[in-house]
Amino acid sequence: MSLMLHFHPLSSFCQKVLIALYESGTPFTPKLVDLSDANQRAAFLTLWPIGKFPVLEDLDKGRVVPESSLIIEFLDQNYPGRNYPGASPFIPHEPAAALEVRHWDRFFDLNVNEPVQKIVGDRLRPDGQHDPAGVAHARGRLKTACGMLETALVDRRWAAGAAFSMADCAAAPALFYADKVMPFGADYPVTSAYVERLRARPSYARVLAEAQPYLAMFPQARD
């Protein structure tokens, strides 16, 4: 297989790319990297010195593609097959529709995933080094984002409209982890219904099943 994905199943950004790969049915070799292993970490840093997951390596083209959104765009351009009959590309060809998908992709990465990572990262800090003000700010951003979703998703099946897109690949893991750090409950019924649609999607159901053995590593609440 010419494609190799360097990833970890617990990473939300890796899950985002895995959803796209499973949606497209594109063959690839999964390369799970344990960054706590010195040798694996060194090899990964040689490939991508920034050291952030995920990274897609196209061995045939001699390309190394980092960052989840860029990887999905690369797949759309070079490996456009889809498992679902009649499915549209992850990023539409029509400019206005493409902008809408990219808007929501950035929304989930920056306004849901990023605050979640702030909250989770704080749980991993040693005692005496926590940042309660930063966590409170992150929770405020999450509440604002969920409030916006409650309005935006009222008449939409998927994040950017009627078609499953890159925006939904971003939304699924971001909202899954957001619900763990700030349970939606009855406060966000529209968002909760959208999350259920995402979890029922075969591609994301597969990603969640593969992540299950690692979920015990997710840090429990300390805030």
Domain layout of the chain by residue ranges: 95-201
List pLDDT tens digits, range 163-204. 999 999 999 999 999 999 999 988 999 999 999 999 999 999
Q: If you write DSSP's letter for every residue of 155-212 in order, what string do you get?
A: T-SBTTBSS--HHHHHHHHHHHHHHHHS--TTT-HHHHHHHHHHHHSHHHHHHHHHHG
pLDDT for 221 equals 63
Q: How many residues does the chain have?
A: 223
Please report which confidence band the pLDDT of residue 160 belongs to, taking 50, 70 and 90 as the band edges. very high
Q: Which helix (H) or strand (E) holds 30?
A: strand 29-32
Percent over 90 (pLDDT), the chain: 78
CA-based angle 36:66:88, to the nearest 5? 125
CA-to-CA dists, residue 70 to 9, 90, 118, 187, angstroms: 19, 12, 23, 33
List pLDDT tens digits, range 11-31. 999 999 999 999 988 899 999
End-to-end Cα, the chain, rounded Å = 44
Find the mean pLDDT for residues 125-138: 88
pLDDT for 83 equals 52
pLDDT for 219 equals 81
Which residue pairs from 131-138 have beta carbons closer than 8 angstroms and sit at least 24 positions apart in sequence?
A: 132/223, 135/223, 138/114
List pLDDT tens digits, range 68-94. 999 999 999 888 765 554 467 899 999
Find the mean pLDDT for residues 28-52: 95
Find the mean pLDDT for residues 34-44: 95
Cα(24)–Cα(27) distance, integer angstroms: 9
Percent over 70 (pLDDT), the chain: 95
pLDDT for 121 equals 85
Find the mean pLDDT for residues 110-116: 96
pLDDT for 131 equals 87
Average pLDDT taken over every residue of the chain: 92
Find the mean pLDDT for residues 116-137: 88
List pLDDT tens digits, range 143-158. 999 999 999 999 999 9
* Class level of CATH domain 95-201: mainly alpha
162: nearest Cα among 56, 87, 81: 87
